[in-house]
C-alpha cells in the first residue's frame, strides 16, 4: 500500500482554521471597542448635559442647552449618528431648578449598533443599549437664579 501524497494539506488546514477562528475573534474585538466608545460618549454626554443645565439661567434654556451638549459631545466622541434620549429631573424646593439646594439629575439613554452585524429577521441592526446618569447639586450659597418669593 502506497501512502497518499499530502504535500500542502497542512497549509490548507491551517488557512481554514485561521479563517474560522480569527474572523470571529476580530469581530468580537471590534464590537467591544465600539461599545466601549459608545459608553464613554454616553457618560461624557450625561456629564456635559448636567453641567449645561445647571449653568443655564432658567429651566427652558437649561433644557435646550443640555440637549445641545449631548449632541455636541456625541459628535466629538466620534459617534455622530448615535441616537440618544435625554431625561432631566430636578428635586427643588419650588418649581425652579436653578435655586440653591436643588439637585439636577440627567439621564442619557443611547445605543450602539454592532458593526458588521446583519439585520435580524427584518427588525433592524442589533443594538447594544447604553445609559448614563449624572447628578449635579446646586449649593445653598452658590449664585443662582432668583427664587419666586423674592
- The pLDDT, as a whole number, for residue 106 is 97
Pick from 5, 79, 7: which is nearest to 42 by CA? 79
- DSSP secondary structure string, 115-148? TT---STTS-S-EEEEEEEEEEEPPTTS--PPPT
Q: Is 98 helix (H, G, I), strand (E, B) or coil?
A: coil
- The pLDDT, as a whole number, for residue 61 is 93
- Four-CA torsion 38, 42, 47, 49, nearest 10 degrees: 130
Mean pLDDT of 98-108: 89
- The pLDDT, as a whole number, for residue 2 is 59
**What is the distance between the alpha carbons of residues 39 and 150, in angstroms, rounded to a whole number?**
43
Amino acid at each position: 500500500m502506497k501512502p497518499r501524497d499530502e504535500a500542502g494539506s497542512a497549509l490548507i488546514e491551517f488557512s481554514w482554521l485561521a479563517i474560522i477562528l480569527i474572523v470571529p475573534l476580530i469581530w468580537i474585538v471590534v464590537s467591544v471597542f465600539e461599545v466601549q466608545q459608545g459608553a464613554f460618549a454616553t457618560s461624557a454626554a450625561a456629564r456635559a448635559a448636567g453641567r449645561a443645565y445647571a449653568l443655564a439661567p432658567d429651566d427652558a434654556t437649561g433644557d435646550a442647552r443640555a440637549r445641545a451638549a449631548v449632541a455636541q459631545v456625541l459628535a466629538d466622541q466620534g459617534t455622530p449618528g448615535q441616537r440618544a434620549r435625554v431625561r432631566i429631573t430636578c428635586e427643588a424646593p419650588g418649581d425652579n431648578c436653578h435655586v440653591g439646594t436643588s439637585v439636577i439629575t440627567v439621564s442619557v439613554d443611547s445605543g450602539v449598533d454592532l458593526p458588521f452585524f446583519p439585520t435580524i429577521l427584518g427588525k433592524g441592526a442589533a443594538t447594544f443599549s447604553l445609559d448614563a446618569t449624572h447628578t449635579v447639586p446646586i449649593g445653598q450659597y452658590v449664585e443662582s437664579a432668583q427664587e419666586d418669593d423674592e
